[in-house]
Amino acid sequence: MTFVPVMWTVWGVLVLLALALYLYRSRLTRDEDDQIFLDDSFGQMKAEQDAITTKVNKVEPFVKISLWLVGVGTVFVVGYYIWDILNQFK
């Protein structure tokens, strides 16, 4: 297999991974409240919000890493084509 299809496949897999992680994080935060005023009688609700926050905090580094990888992959793909264009003019 040549280099270009492999490059596009890797880039596509990175985009799909980033999209899946972003959608998962969005699904988790769907039920999260921005601000809650709780007293002692809302212990169950506080526990649910803490569980959501814990899950989001675990996923957040992976989302950031995957977005950085997509960015690096995009720069690599664009750089490859710029390099190819410059080599055709030699």
Place of tokens 């769907």: 30
User: CA torsion sign, 71 to 72 to 76 to 77?
Assistant: negative
Amino acid 73: pLDDT: 97
Residue-level pLDDT at 1: 61
Other beta carbons less than 10 A from residue 56's beta carbon:
16
d(CA 77, CA 65): 18
Q: What are φ and ψ of residue 30, in 5° steps?
A: -60, -40
DSSP state of 5: H
Q: Note the pTM of the prediction, 2 decimals.
A: 0.80
pLDDT tens, position by position, 14-73 = 999 999 999 999 998 887 666 665 666 777 777 788 888 898 899 999 999 999 999 999
